[in-house]
């Protein structure tokens, strides 16, 4: 069911912060830098935004090509990182859904040469990033067609940085911001730069060249096929050479998908005791189950957990566990648990040592939850 209040808020927020439009996914970009023009702090935002996190310097430091000290800034909800010079201020503003605090409606960030309690000076620098969740996904081909056939830009060029595809360009007209657009699994992260001076473009390019996709973040998806649950419970992208099938469901079990990689093999030995011995000998076995309960809020039962990390699906937070069970004699288990709108999503992998971990990461990144 559509969250009318959240949609209304996002429309208002987008109109307030942004004024241009770049296709279905890039709703409003040209207005980036409005806050700087108005000499106001970028965190002056409606109550749906939590307190902004501003970090002049934090995390691991290094040096860029010019010898300046930089800090690795991780934007977990976006699934990216950037190396930012230590003399710049970084503000991160996740926009929380008004009715469901576990869900994000959008994510904003600012990288600028003035703090939140200061106004921009004459020679100000600001990079403004924006990604909006809840929009219909769009293919790379359709997105590219829009960018290459609009009169909004003075110029627009394709770019690819560390595996992330997109465009860089500059708006035409009086509000001629520089712009970077990155295509992330059917959504667009927009980063605009003001003031549009040659010096600011050089600095922005240096930062953009450090753009990295985090493990389990959003990314480009090619060589995959969309698999849509017949009941609308989820959509997931599987490698095009995998086999899959839907299983019948009843009761609280709303959906169930099984899949496996080519050549996947496992052995199950029945032994005296509470469980069988399971050997994942090659490849990957996967299941995706949707339950009408809250089991996803708990850890996997009987698990010896080796690693746990937070993941996000359309702005909804989940947990990714790597573990073994008493029955696991050979191989490893991995399970993502997400609870949303009264449903538990359990995405489970049993895999051998030879399994392609990139395939698992991409499947996890691609999971789209039903409404």
- Please tell me whether residues 27 and 94 are part of one structural domain: yes
Apex 19 CA angle, 13 and 22, nearest 5? 105
CA 170 to chain centre: 25
> pLDDT at position 87, please?
93
- Residue 228's SS3 state is strand
Among 180, 213, 246, identify where a domain stops.
213
| CATH number, domain with residue 275 | 3.40.1000.10
Q: The whole model's pTM is what?
A: 0.58
178-181 contacts: CB < 8 A, separation 24 or more?
178/204, 179/22, 179/29, 179/30, 179/32, 179/153, 180/204, 180/208, 181/22, 181/26, 181/29, 181/147
For residue 132, give both structure tokens.
């909006």
- Please tell me whether residues 183 and 251 are part of one structural domain: no
Within a domain: 218: no
- Please tell me whether residues 188 and 229 are part of one structural domain: no
> pLDDT at position 312, please?
82
- Please tell me whether residues 277 and 342 are part of one structural domain: yes
- Please tell me whether residues 108 and 196 are part of one structural domain: yes
Mean pLDDT, each 10-residue run in order, the chain (371 residues)? 43 40 38 40 35 49 64 89 95 86 86 77 89 82 88 93 92 93 89 95 97 69 77 89 94 96 94 85 97 93 91 85 94 95 95 89 84 69
Task: Report the domain count for the chain.
Answer: 2
Within a domain: 219: no
Among 188, 213, 238, identify where a domain stops.
213
> pLDDT at position 256, please?
97
> pLDDT at position 133, please?
84
Within a domain: 166: yes
User: Is residue 36 a contact partner of residue 194, using CB atoms and an 8 Å limit?
Assistant: yes
Residue 320 lies in domain: 224-369
Cα–Cα separations (whole angstroms), residue 314 to 53, 101, 284, 367: 21, 13, 25, 9
Among 170, 194, 213, identify where a domain stops.
213
357 membership: H or E segment, kind and range: helix 357-366
């Amino acid at each position: 069911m559509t969250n009318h209040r959240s949609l209304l808020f996002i429309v208002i927020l987008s109109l307030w912060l942004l004024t241009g439009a770049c296709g279905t996914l890039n709703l409003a970009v040209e207005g980036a830098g409005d806050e700087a023009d108005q000499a106001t702090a970028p965190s002056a935002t409606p109550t749906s935004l939590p307190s902004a996190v501003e970090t002049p310097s934090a995390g691991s430091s290094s040096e860029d090509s010019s010898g300046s000290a930089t800090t690795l800034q991780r934007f977990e909800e976006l699934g990216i990182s950037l190396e930012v010079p230590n003399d710049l201020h970084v503000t991160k503003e996740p926009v929380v859904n008004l009715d469901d605090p576990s869900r994000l409606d959008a994510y904003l960030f600012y990288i600028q040469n003035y703090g939140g309690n200061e106004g921009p000076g004459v020679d100000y620098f600001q990079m403004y990033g924006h990604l909006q969740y809840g929009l219909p996904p769009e293919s790379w081909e359709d997105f590219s067609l829009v960018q290459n056939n609009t009169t909004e830009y003075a110029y627009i060029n394709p770019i690819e940085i560390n595996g992330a595809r997109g465009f860089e360009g500059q708006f035409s007209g009086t509000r001629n911001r520089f712009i970077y657009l990155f295509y992330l699994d059917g959504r667009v992260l927009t980063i605009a730069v003001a003031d549009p001076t040659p010096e600011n473009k050089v600095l922005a390019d240096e930062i953009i060249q450090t753009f990295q996709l985090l493990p389990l973040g959003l990314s480009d998806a090619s060589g995959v096929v969309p698999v849509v649950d017949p009941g609308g419970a989820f959509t997931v992208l599987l490698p095009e050479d995998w086999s899959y099938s839907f299983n019948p469901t009843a009761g609280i079990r709303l959906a169930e998908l099984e899949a496996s990689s080519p050549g996947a093999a496992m052995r199950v030995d029945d032994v005296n005791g509470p469980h069988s011995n399971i050997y994942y000998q090659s490849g990957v076995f996967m299941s995706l189950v949707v339950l009408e309960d809250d089991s996803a809020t708990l850890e996997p039962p009987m698990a010896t957990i080796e690693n746990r990390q937070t993941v996000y699906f359309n702005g909804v937070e989940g947990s990714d566990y790597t573990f073994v069970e008493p029955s696991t004699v050979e191989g490893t288990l991995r399970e993502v648990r997400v609870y949303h709108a009264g449903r538990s999503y359990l995405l489970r992998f049993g895999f051998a040592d030879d399994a392609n971990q990139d395939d698992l990461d991409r499947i996890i990144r691609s999971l789209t939850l039903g409404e």
